[in-house]
Amino acid sequence: MQTLEERQRLVRESHHAPERWYELYEELPLGCIPPPADCVNAPTQQQPLANIPNIRSRRPESIQGHFLTAKESRVHCEAVLEDGNVCGATYSIQTSWIASMRHIRREHPSLYRVVQVFRFYQRMILGETVPGEAFDQD
């Protein structure tokens, strides 16, 4: 079993970034991602975090909370597309969990993945248990 220091060293060796980036892993509570201004100096693979609409997810374990906003009886996907437009897909509150998760994984896989990676490394830095499978294979 790796010590916390070994895990932190592995994270730093896995991608080269300014020290400020590694501090974000420790400073941000679980369920939060860096604001767009902090993503400018992110490692290349983490820069798309700037296109995630919600910095905080209401449920710390939920990735889709970073993409969705509830308005009245609907849930709206606010992911920023490559052309700069907002996705805008909507789902009813009753079917939002399964349908919206499927939508995010299928329509925004690179954005979904970048949040997943950030949260994985954040857990490693914080010394939290990381599941055996680092990332979903869906």
What confidence category does residue 97 fall into, taking pLDDT thresholds of 50, 70 and 90? confident
Contacts 24+ apart (CB under 8 A), 36-39: none
Domain span at 112: 4-126
- Residue 107 included in any domain: yes
- Residue 137 included in any domain: no
- Residue 132 included in any domain: no
- Residue 105 included in any domain: yes
Rounded to a whole number, what is the largest CA-CA distance in the chain? 48
- Residue 31 included in any domain: yes
Q: pLDDT, tens digit, for every residue of 1-56?
A: 678 788 778 877 877 778 888 888 888 998 899 999 999 888 888 899 998 999 99
Q: What is the pLDDT of residue 129?
A: 66
Which pTM was predicted? 0.80
Q: pLDDT, tens digit, for every residue of 20-29?
A: 888 888 889 9
- Residue 61 included in any domain: yes
What confidence category does residue 136 fall into, taking pLDDT thresholds of 50, 70 and 90? very low
Is beta strand 90-92 parallel, antiparallel or unpaired with respect to 74-77?
antiparallel
- Please state, in angstroms and rounded to a whole number, the distance separating the CA atoms of residues 67 and 77: 6
Number of domains in the chain: 1
